[in-house]
Amino acid sequence: MIDALLACVMSVGYRPFFDPYPVDGDWLWLIVPLAFGVAIVYKTLSAKRLRDIPLGSLKWAIQILVTMGLSACVIYGLVYLL
């Protein structure tokens, strides 16, 4: 039983935690869907009306992205310019 299960698991071509998706040069762009996902979840949980969610999540996502960009600039300045 265990051997059959192990053979079934080992025959799977893609194993997400063992063979991660190669995002060598594009990993920085993954912050955009992450920011939108966090913003949508936050606004969904905190909105009083359903119509407030799309515009509120867009505002939050932009706010997250701008804050992350400014934080990156500050850290870059502290590390490389000082």
Q: What is the pLDDT of residue 3?
A: 62
CA-based nearest residue to 41, from 53, 59, 28, 52: 53
In this prediction the pTM is 0.70
Tell me the pLDDT tens digit for each residue of 24-82.
Answer: 778 888 899 999 999 999 999 999 999 999 999 999 999 999 999 999 999 999 999 88
> One-letter amino acid identity for 43?
K
Place of tokens 């063992």: 18
Q: Are 61 and 36 in contact (CB under 8 A)?
A: yes
What distances in angstroms separate CA 34 from CA 15, 27, 37, 52, one per listed residue? 22, 11, 5, 20
What six digits make up the tokens of 49?
């009306």
